[in-house]
Structure 1
Amino acid sequence: MAYDLEEQEQLATLKAAWKQYGNLITWIVIIALAGYVAWSQWNNYQNNQAGQASQLYEELLKSVTDKDAPKILRTATDLKEKFPSTAYASMGAFVTAKAFFDSGDLKSAKSQLQWIIDSGKSEEYKVLAKLRLAGLLLDDKSYDDALKQLTGEFPAELQVQVEDRKGDVYVALGKVTEARKSYQAAIGKMTDKDPIKQLVQLKLDAIGGGIESASK
């Protein structure tokens, strides 16, 4: 697919911005969303098991702060094996995936996210894991695999993030029209107060977004 010089420059600009800021932004958004889901589920699941899982999760956070890799993995494994039905098991997998990512162990990071997708009990967590895994696959240039993670039915409250990530993958593939549609779909589902609306709008503008451009 051929593009004019202006579109090529726009794609190059957006790809460079993603490389510099994309991972930091998406990790922050996903960990924040995961924390919100955990808080919601805590209100509906306050029992002894959740309390024990909470203690293990706190140990995991301390291990991450201390950068104690063996303890991080051991505690995350305990959470998944002993309390797989709690929100903290998936939360622990997210935190562990982030720790592995920061250390450059992308294979282990992907494994943690895949566990959430395969064994997590919360549909919201599964979607968040798919979003983050799609981001890692995008970085690996495994674009088709990234899009597979973003295919299917998703909760309404997370469709913005799904469309945004689809746009990122389409940009990497050079599919400007599809990228515009995804970014526009994401923006259309957001309010002016949404914290990532400006970011998505910037990405859309970088590829010549807007109603007029989308109709080309």
Structure 2
Amino acid sequence: MAYDHEEQEQLASLKAWWNQYGNLVTWVLIAALAAYAGWTGWKAYERNQTSQAALLYEELEKAAAAKDLPKVQRAAADLGDRFGRTAYAQMGGLVAAKAAVDANDLKLAKAQLQQVADKGRDEEYRAVAKLRLAGILLDEKAYDDGLKLLGGSFPAQFAGAVADRKGDLLMAQNKTDEARAAYQQALEKTDQKNPGRQLIQLKLDALGGAKSVG
């Protein structure tokens, strides 16, 4: 009987606690379950988005290989509109820009690259877009615009490529000393195993190598 009495006291205490805090516990549990359901649902949505974007990007690449520029541009636009949060949208913009360059439509290429440079979610893709856009501006003799484009911050791994492109723009303006300094920096920032170092060295040698100090 003593055990039954003790058990009844515990049950009474539990009922009293539940009457006081039961609703709060229930709402916390519901909120936790809702958050988990939302998180799993979002992950499933992201996987679905990525899968659809990959298929569309594959179609874009096929169109680019077939030199079907209108189809390339439609696919790139669809990627940006429907799957802008995925990497495929940025990749599609770069492929579309290359297709436009191959078709000698530099205006369209610049628009595609500017889109990636301005709205790309990943700094690496933005960097690639800016470098390629600066190359087009070099061909168009828009040297100051190219240098301005390269004046911002870039991921560290792009330091050599940015300095090299700056050297090209400066050399085109006959700013020999500044171009030499840019190529020297490019050489210093480019990995020893990178085959691009040879071309940078040739440019530097053509300017007489590093400028002596004193």
Q: TM-score range by the shorter chain?
A: 0.7 to 0.9
How far off its partner does 1:195 sit? 2.1
What residue identity is the alignment partner of 1:121? R
Displacement of 1:214 in angstroms is 4.7
Q: Following TM superposition, where does structure 1 have runs of at least 4 consecutive aligned residues deviating by more than 2 angstroms?
A: 213-216
Root mean square deviation of aligned Cα: 1.3
1:146 is aligned to 2:146: yes
The unaligned stretches of length 5 or more in structure 2 are 1-45
After TM superposition, the structure 1 = structure 2 runs for residues 1-216 of structure 1, keeping only pairs within 5 Å, are 47-210=47-210, 213-215=211-213
Helix, strand or coil: the match of 1:47? Answer: helix
8 Å contact from structure 1 (residues 181, 214) kept in 2: no
- The answer for unaligned runs of 5 or more in structure 1 is 1-45
Q: TM-score, normalised by structure 1?
A: 0.75
Shift of the 191–118 alpha-carbon distance from structure 1 to 2, 3 Å rule, reads: closer
Identity of matched residues, %:
54
Determine which structure has greater relative contact order: mean sequence separation of CA pairs < 8 Å that are 6+ residues apart, divided by chain length. Answer: 1
- Which TM-score applies when normalising by structure 2? 0.76
Aligned partner letter, 1:201? Q
Please report how far the alpha carbon of residue 169 of structure 1 lies from its aligned counterpart in structure 2 after TM superposition: 0.3
Deviation at 1:191, TM superposition (A): 2.8
Q: Distance in 2 between matches of 1:96 and 1:215?
A: 46
Query: How far is the alpha carbon of 1:127 from its aligned partner?
Result: 1.2
What is the distance in 1 between the residues matched to 2:147 and 2:122?
21
- Structure 1 Cα separation of the partners of residues 161 and 207 of structure 2: 19
Paired amino acid for 1:67: K
Q: CA deviation at 1:120?
A: 0.9
Letter in 1 for 2:57: Y
The number of equivalent residue pairs is 169
Q: Which amino acid aligns with 1:63?
A: A
d(CA) in 1 for partners of 2:209, 2:115: 36
Deviates more, 1:151-160 or 1:107-116: 151-160
Query: Amino acid of the residue matched to residue 85 of structure 2?
Result: S
| SS at structure 2 position matched to 1:209 | coil
